[in-house]
């Protein structure tokens, strides 16, 4: 498997259970589809179950005989996260892959989650943080299990963790707020891997991160108009969701993937191309910031991890 890695390089997923958040559209849908086509039982964790049911029908049409289930999960509500985790624990004795894919990007005005968090930080980071904490024991000690968290090139764009104003209550800048949320995704993945590694469990769970480059998906609907045109019209800037999903698929399924790695496209600027291991920004590796963010996230969500 080299730099031409495609979905056909995904090894058999027979007997494995994969939970994919935001799986009704875009990168999440393509990820769920490929996993189902390779034999995995797939749980589509989505906010809108009607759209989830439609996605499940499309996936089973592409993968006849696949087991695809829909689980309601609204990452913008800690109550919904708790309910979804409880229902998943009741229905699913083990999970091999948790793919934290769902997200919101660039809402033009400041919006908040049900719990009062800024929408991008609350959904993209805190929602996934809380959900992972409450289902990770389904993955622990499952051989080859992985938590894959989807980040973005935006973790480099005007991005910092604004501990003095995490919820952007003083002033709201949608690009910087999105960058904060995606930087938080990476810091979460790296700190989670460190904690999992400390368990020293043989063949235990690992945490991996990925980003799609610039993918033409529904997530980009709030991009400034000029960027929308550039993204769609100029192939050098973007690729479709099928190819955008490959980095997270490789992070989830490549037997050679290691905990703490970060996958992205291989073309110049990591905007498009085949998936490979890439590096994230210098600040994303800051151990002190990672641990501070973890502690604050536990306080805000009221959850703790068993690792």
Question: Which sequence positions are flagged as catalytic?
Answer: 178
Kindly report the number of other CB atoms within 10 A of residue 198's CB atom.
Answer: 9
CA distances for 204 relative to 194, 250, 258, 275, angstroms:
13, 18, 12, 24
Max distance between CA atoms of the chain, in angstroms, equals 52
What letter would DSSP give residue 88? H
CA distances for 133 relative to 188, 232, 287, 303, angstroms:
11, 37, 20, 7
Strands 275-277 and 262-265, bridge-based pairing? antiparallel
**What CA–CA distance (Å, rounded) separates 169 from 233?**
36
**DSSP code per residue over 90-106:** HH-S--SEEEE------
Could you tell me the two tokens for 14? 């027979």
CA distances for 169 relative to 210, 263, 302, angstroms:
29, 33, 21
Could you tell me the two tokens for 229? 């045109």
What letter would DSSP give residue 11? P
Is there a contact between 70 and 50 (Cβ–Cβ < 8 Å)? no
């Amino acid at each position: 498997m080299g730099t031409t890695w495609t979905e056909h390089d995904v090894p058999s997923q027979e007997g494995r259970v994969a939970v994919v958040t935001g799986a009704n559209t875009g990168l999440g849908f393509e990820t769920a589809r490929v996993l189902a086509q390779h034999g995995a039982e797939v749980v589509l964790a989505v906010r809108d179950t009607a759209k989830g049911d439609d996605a499940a029908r499309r996936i089973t049409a592409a993968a006849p005989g696949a087991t695809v289930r829909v689980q309601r999960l609204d990452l913008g509500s800690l109550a919904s996260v708790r309910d979804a985790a409880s229902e998943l624990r009741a229905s699913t004795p083990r999970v091999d892959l948790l793919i934290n894919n769902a997200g919101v990007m660039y809402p033009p005005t400041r919006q908040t989650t049900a719990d009062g968090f800024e929408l991008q930080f609350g959904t993209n980071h805190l929602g996934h943080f809380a959900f992972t904490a409450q289902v990770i024991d389904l993955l622990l000690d499952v051989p080859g299990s992985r938590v894959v968290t989807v980040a973005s090139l935006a973790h480099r764009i005007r991005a910092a963790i604004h501990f003095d104003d995490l919820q952007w209550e003083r002033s709201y800048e949608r690009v910087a707020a999105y960058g904060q949320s995606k930087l938080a995704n990476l810091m979460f993945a790296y700190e989670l891997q460190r904690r999992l590694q400390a368990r020293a469990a043989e063949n235990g769970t690992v945490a991996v991160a990925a980003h799609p480059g610039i993918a033409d998906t529904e997530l980009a609907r709030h991009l400034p108009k000029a960027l929308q045109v550039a993204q769609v019209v100029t192939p050098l800037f973007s690729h479709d969701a099928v190819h955008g999903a490959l980095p997270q698929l490789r992070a989830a399924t490549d037997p050679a993937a290691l905990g703490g790695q970060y996958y992205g496209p291989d073309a110049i600027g990591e905007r498009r191309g085949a998936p490979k291991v890439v590096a994230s920004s210098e600040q994303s590796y800051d151990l002190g910031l990672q641990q501070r963010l973890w502690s604050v996230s536990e306080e805000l969500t009221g959850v703790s991890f068993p690792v």
